Structure 1
Amino acid sequence: MKKRLIYGWLLAGVTFASSCTKNFDEVNTDPYKATSENFNPNFLMSQAQIQFSQTGYDQLLFQSMWVQSLASTFDYYANGDKYVLRGSGTGYYSRTWNRGYGALTLVDEMKNLVQGKTQYSNLDACGTILRVMFIQRITDLHGDVPYSQEGQAKSGNVAPVFDKQQDIYKAMLSQLDAATAALDLNKDKPSSDLFYGGDISKWKRLGYSLMLKAAMRLTKVDAATAKTYAEKAYAAGTMTSVADNAKVLTDNANGNSNSNSDALLVADDFREVRWGKTLIDIMKTSNDPRISAVAEVSAGTGKAANEDRATPGVNTASLQIGMPNGYDLNGGATDISKAPNYPGTSPANPAVPNDAPAPVGKYSRPRLTVYDDRSGVNMLYTYGESELLLAEAAVRGWNTGSAATHYANALAADIRSLAQMNATPQAVVSDNDIASYVSRNPLNTANTTALQQINTEYYVVTSTTFNFNETFANWRRSGYPVLTPVTYPGQYITGSIPRRMPYPITLPQTNGANYQAAVANQGPDNFATRVWWDKQ
């Protein structure tokens, strides 16, 4: 009986195998496998947006402190605060590069999947706009980088050439012009869009606002091109309100926690990362109502209170003090206690067993409920930023409207944008306080003063929205605010604030010939070499 059963199964197997030879491929094809025919390319848009929006240590460790928006006595932050490499600092060179190109790869694949499919024409155009947004951050930080041959590894090109930054900017402006014009309100909308939920009118305004930003980056090196594209963007229609802000709401509950909060909630970071003296002093000079929205000191005294990552601090504006860059807790000449106007140590709380003093406890930290929200917003580009750029273009005599009006619009928008940093608004300033602040701070239309006002406000808005890559880029372009370099032993650059990030240290091995060509064209691969649009 057992033999007959076994033989029966074997016979059935032979019969089955012989009967399948005519449709073998069909039977052995996984019906659930993703292919170019059954995969929805919209899904790649949201993946690219969230990946690119996450920054965390990518910009906190270097850029935020190079521009003195943040400061820290913690040794690890010496990388940016003091221009001294610490704790695998060179490994962080590649963070912005890898994240940016990773997001670009997703967009490239999305665009490949929609080729020849007219129902995805808007998605394709949005992909081009994203491509420009992503590459601009990379090239602004490093200079010459792969663009024209980027994303070709599937076809065998694993060593792309580094395009000159001048050529990248030409391509970006041209591609934005074509892609934004191609967007059609009457065609299918992207169905997986984290910026605008597929609203094509907002994508159009984003495209032209990115054109404006790219154009204004050229004011030092190609004013004629900057003027042409800034005027084109304004005429076509840039952002019109904070509803147009390009941002991504993260989602801790589903595994997409905010990378900035993830970094700041590390015990050492939370205890010692503070708002910089430069930023807080600027805001205090104008009695900026954002101070209470963005800054706080710990609610109690001593080390335990300063490490409490659950209890909101005190955000009274008069109590906020920015910490100067370039100090440590080592007890020597650069100890924070030696800093001018040091507010003193926050004393130990006698009611807390084994508590200790907190040397930086009286300095202001980023407000807990705003910036340590694991489901907070990553802000990428705001209406206020675009209004400031239009104001500067108008000051330069270009046909972009009234500089004073754009500036006033920007001040109000920059404050209101802070309320978007969280799903439940935390950084809220009343309409009356906003109106009063705007009326007290009109634009001084004298050319030099106006440029300083506009770009100092750009510094404040990009710092308070934690968009430090943009803070660093616009500071290099505009020169405002005027910053004093930090002096500290063992620096990788002395007498100057860094002007660029060196390339990832793996490139000489992985793409040596093209890396060497880029260095020959641009200059030494160090922190002092200026990118093309930053030439003096």
Structure 2
Amino acid sequence: MKKRSLAILYCSLLITLGACKKFEYFQTDPNKPTESTPDLLLTSIEAKTFSEVSTSCPLAARQLVNTDGVSANQYYGWQRAGFGDFDQLRQVVKMEQAATRLNKPVYLALAKFFRAYLFMRLSLVYGDIPYSEALQGESKSFTPAYDRQETIFLHILDELKIANNLLTADAGEIRGDIVYSGKIQQWKQLINTFSLRILMSLSLKENNAKLGIQQRFREIVNNPGQYPLMTGNQDNGQLVYVDLKDNRYPFYNSNDLQTAYYLEETFVNLLKGTRDPRLFRFAQKAPQSAALPDNDFNAYGGAKGSATIDENTSRVTAGQVSKIAKRYYNDPVNEPGIAIGYAELQFILAEGVVRKWIGGNAEEYYKKGIQASMEHYKVPAADITAYKAQPAVQLLPGKEMEAIFNQKYISFFMNSGWQLFYEQRRTGLPVFDVSGNGVLNNKRIPKRWMYPEDELNLNRDNVTAAIARQFPQGDDINAVMWLLIKD
């Protein structure tokens, strides 16, 4: 009885002591951190932002064909896109806050890059977007105004310049970096290469004195000590996949990719026309040519991206069409997923020479771009050498742009997100086929996406003002944004 009384007294004492603590005390798990560190946030930001392997752009850019349904990307029937990149930008803000709290300024420089990358990506989709007033939800600002695309681009370029200058040898240690393992020099190379991508995307504004495109371009290229650039594929801004859960190639074990994705006819013909060995890395032989060697160009065929599903299904049934290569769905690591790469940089520099923005040898840059692309796809060295020596591959006077953009187009296969589409939108090269009966949008290639429905519901005044300012005809996928209007 005495033992029982003591037990009751002990329990009563615990209850009394517990009652002295506020309710909120019990809502916090002492074993779980309530604040993140910038290195943990960086890992997540890199993994999500640099995940640029997709079938969406290859469908829109006439590299792949889907036979399993009417694809809005393939047939140009898209309408609205989303503001998902703002979710990533909120994580970048948290990384900035953590870096400030823990006095780790090196992460602030990286945050400037990711801000530039994500805001640039959003602006390329729509045109004007919330920028200067964006990401202020914690201060109860939920209806940000839309900034003009010109203002956004100017600010992004300035921010990237600051980021490059902040990344010095004594800037601090970068942890949590799954792209460059903390190597500051490679981050600087990525930032400056990205700056050149942005500047070249503004080529239609090369006479705009406010932007100073050519001057900015030359400043970077002619000062490698201050503005280092990528020197090879080892500097690619890319995700390297490993055979672990949630870290494998995005289309590993994809049944859709295995059963419904084929090479597009114009893309196959482009590769066959110059006897490009990358075709053997991109595609399987057409079933009707199974007896031919793997390196026989006659063994490969494509479906027509603009044709109806019935037309393409008939060709598939007849065994005339090549599926995408098995490694894209069978290999858990496959090739790295490039976000911004060395091959692209070389083609940018080649275009810069042709446009007379910089001096140098355009063909040398052009050939380096081809070399880097083929090495990325693991084409044998002897085949690369033979390919580059062909007369059909040389950079001929008066036809430089066509050759550069054809090679750039090929190099973007299954990497770099929507950059391929944006390059064609800017230049018109290569020409995308819209002749078939499957094409929607009155057989026009869209220029942009419409703003998200949520913006019309939650931020109507600002998005409506932005639409009226840019597009007299309204929020239309065929409307031409500021970026695409020649000055």
Q: 1:53 to 1:27 in 2, by over 3 A?
A: closer
Q: Measure the CA separation in 2 of the matches of 1:28 and 1:459.
A: 54
Q: Measure the CA separation in 1 of the matches of 2:289 and 2:367.
A: 40
**Post-superposition CA distance 1:86-120 (Å, at most 9, x none):** xxxx5xx435x31x2222221121012112654x2
Tell me the TM-score normalized by structure 1: 0.80
Q: Which piece of structure 1 moves more, 251-260 or 23-32?
A: 23-32
Aligned to 2:442: 494
Contact 1:66–1:498 (8 Å) recurs in 2: no
**Post-superposition CA distance 1:222-277 (Å, at most 9, x none):** 34522122212212221110001111124563234443446xx234x432221212
Q: Measure the CA separation in 2 of the matches of 1:104 and 1:145.
A: 13
Q: 1:443 to 1:534 in 2, by over 3 A?
A: farther
Superposition deviation, residue 172 in structure 1: 1.0
**Post-superposition CA distance 1:305-361 (Å, at most 9, x none):** xxxxxxxx957543111221122343xxx5654xxxxxx55xxxxxxxxxxxx34x4
Q: Measure the CA separation in 1 of the matches of 2:203 and 2:77.
A: 32
Aligned to 1:408: 367
| Residue 433 (str. 1) matches residue 383 (str. 2) | yes
Match of 1:176 among 127, 140, 160: 160
Aligned 1:337-376 pairs, distance under 5 A: 337=314, 358-359=317-318, 361-370=319-328, 372-376=330-334
Secondary structure of the equivalent of 1:115? Answer: helix
Aligned to 1:243: 234
Superposition deviation, residue 26 in structure 1: 8.6
| Residue 145 (str. 1) matches residue 129 (str. 2) | yes
Cα RMSD (Å): 2.9
Superposition deviation, residue 381 in structure 1: 1.1
Quick one: which amino acid aligns to residue 242 of structure 1? N
Aligned to 2:299: 319
Match of 1:222 among 194, 199, 206: 206
Aligned to 1:389: 348
| Residue 529 (str. 1) matches residue 487 (str. 2) | no
Q: Measure the CA separation in 2 of the matches of 1:284 and 1:323.
A: 14
Contact 2:288–2:320 (8 Å) recurs in 1: no
Unaligned stretches of 5+ in structure 2?
A: none
| Residue 81 (str. 1) matches residue 66 (str. 2) | no
Q: 1:477 to 1:27 in 2, by over 3 A?
A: closer
Secondary structure of the equivalent of 2:159? Answer: helix
Contact 2:193–2:229 (8 Å) recurs in 1: yes
Secondary structure of the equivalent of 2:358? Answer: coil
- Corresponding residue pairs, total: 472
Contact 1:390–1:400 (8 Å) recurs in 2: no
Aligned to 2:51: 54
Contact 1:326–1:486 (8 Å) recurs in 2: yes
Q: Measure the CA separation in 2 of the matches of 1:478 and 1:110.
A: 37
Q: 1:202 to 1:515 in 2, by over 3 A?
A: same
Aligned to 1:473: 422
| Residue 484 (str. 1) matches residue 433 (str. 2) | yes
Q: Measure the CA separation in 2 of the matches of 1:101 and 1:257.
A: 25
Q: Measure the CA separation in 1 of the matches of 2:346 and 2:246.
A: 35
Contact 2:96–2:108 (8 Å) recurs in 1: yes
Quick one: which amino acid aligns to residue 227 of structure 1? Q
Quick one: which amino acid aligns to residue 403 of structure 2? Q
**Post-superposition CA distance 1:450-491 (Å, at most 9, x none):** 1111112111111x2433400001111121112232443682
Secondary structure of the equivalent of 2:238? Answer: strand
| Residue 516 (str. 1) matches residue 467 (str. 2) | no
Aligned 1:30-429 pairs, distance under 5 A: 30-36=29-35, 39-54=36-51, 60-61=55-56, 63-77=57-71, 79-84=72-77, 93-94=80-81, 97-98=83-84, 100-115=85-100, 117-118=102-103, 120-223=104-207, 225-234=212-221, 235=223, 236-251=227-242, 253-261=244-252, 265-267=254-256, 269-297=257-285, 316-330=296-310, 337=314, 358-359=317-318, 361-370=319-328, 372-376=330-334, 377-418=336-377, 428-429=378-379
Superposition deviation, residue 436 in structure 1: 2.1
Superposition deviation, residue 301 in structure 1: 9.4
Tell me the TM-score normalized by structure 2: 0.88
Superposition deviation, residue 129 in structure 1: 0.9
**Post-superposition CA distance 1:406-451 (Å, at most 9, x none):** 1111110111122xxxxxxxxx2111211222233665352x4111
Secondary structure of the equivalent of 1:506? Answer: helix
Contact 2:287–2:322 (8 Å) recurs in 1: no
Secondary structure of the equivalent of 2:65? Answer: strand
Secondary structure of the equivalent of 1:488? Answer: coil
Aligned to 2:6: 5
Q: 1:102 to 1:374 in 2, by over 3 A?
A: farther
Q: Measure the CA separation in 1 of the matches of 2:348 and 2:480.
A: 22
Q: Measure the CA separation in 2 of the matches of 1:467 and 1:407.
A: 18
Secondary structure of the equivalent of 2:444? Answer: coil
Q: Which piece of structure 1 moves more, 249-258 or 138-147?
A: 249-258
Aligned to 1:352: none
Unaligned stretches of 5+ in structure 1?
A: 303-312, 338-343, 346-357, 419-427
Secondary structure of the equivalent of 2:105? Answer: helix
Q: Which piece of structure 1 moves more, 103-112 or 206-215?
A: 103-112
